[in-house]
A and B are shown apart, each in its own frame.
Chain A
């Protein structure tokens, strides 16, 4: 039982890393230069938090740090800042999730939305404190809205495409060994 579950666990961890690399690659590919009217959603964040909320152990802290730091460096963002915020948010979500007994999808989505907007807000505050330039608030908010909007799609793809089952909080806490 243990070997099987841990095997699954490592499969999902590797899958997560591969998926994130794929997303980052797709993001830097020179497909379109001009952005559409809608800002593109932050799929990386959606995938990470979705997996975190559904199977927390598939998204260890180290993967988050590696993936987001890489994304920070490759996507010309201030290195470390977004990673730091995502790390803190993920820890918060982990704890929140562990405390809850019932976990329907709408609550999950709501938690995600709160996390996204908190992240955007914190990012702006941090950049403001550091006297770095920020992009316009409207674009940032639209970005957040689009990211929240894409969350069900990401969840559906993870669930039906990759077979990522949603674990109950009690299931998480219960010790198999």
Chain B
């Protein structure tokens, strides 16, 4: 076995001498380090330079093993992470619900706000007396009529959106033709894209939008408002939101709750000035002598501003 061989007669003093020299050298090294620190640090840097790059072969497996361990740990945390994500999703859902509610409330408030601010739009509130029960006519009866100044064709809203228009006025009652009736045709604008369309009732709960120029520009959820074309309805009344059916038809999901009509507002809208002279609209401005062009201009700009 391995035996100590240093106790030969000559080896011992030699060994002792060697140890002594080594100790002396080390003491000198320490003193040198203390006195001339910069130089020794440079030596240290050189030694590090020699040794550390040679250790890349050792680093490579260690780093890859470390990465594997990290991966494995993340794998083990998967369940926990999943749980956390699910919780967050739940929270987000709650937030989304809140956001949608706020959006609807905001729309309602904005709408009410506009109704109040527009000086032309005052309203008469009536109570729904009866639903007419025919499958081909969707209309309701209001308890306001000619006595209250109701005129044919006026728009009718519940708190949120357009319900329909007056068609038939009695002395004390009036009939409201709902938007869902198959005889209802209302010109509308789809809000972000600004496209014009006609909302046609077809006795279903969601009227069809026809005569759209580019249906590709329209996406579900866009706002539909009355456009005021034809002078029938005041422009900018909220009707509902776009819904796209599976057969790619564009329909309107009405904001008004037609199944629970109770109080309705009949919006007083007075007929705007009618354009009688088409020549004054088309073509360059006329010289000042014709007197008819002045009201025509106001009508045109007024409509454009809306």
Contacts and interface: CB of A to CB of B under 8 A. Distances in A.
Interface stretch (A56-64, A112-120, A149-157): A56-64
A87 B1 contact: no
Interface stretch (A41-49, A100-108, A137-145, A165-173): A165-173
A173 B34 contact: no
Given A5-B2, A31-B66, A173 B7 contact: yes
Interface in B35-56: 40, 43-44, 47-48, 51-52, 55
Nearest to B63: A30
A111 to B, nearest CB: 18
B18 A74 contact: no
SS of B interface (majority): helix
Contacts of A28: 52, 55
B19 interface: yes
Contact of A79 (B1, B19, B30, B55): B30
B1 A167 contact: yes
Contacts, number: 96
A80 B47 contact: no
Contact of B2 (A12, A30, A80, A175): A12
Given A5-B3, A88-B23, A130 B48 contact: no
8 closest A-B pairs by beta carbon, nearest first, are A80-B29, A84-B26, A9-B2, A80-B30, A80-B26, A73-B47, A81-B30, A172-B4
17 contacts: A5-B1, A25-B55, A28-B52, A28-B55, A30-B63, A31-B62, A61-B15, A76-B44, A78-B33, A80-B26, A80-B29, A88-B23, A130-B30, A130-B34, A167-B2, A172-B3, A177-B5
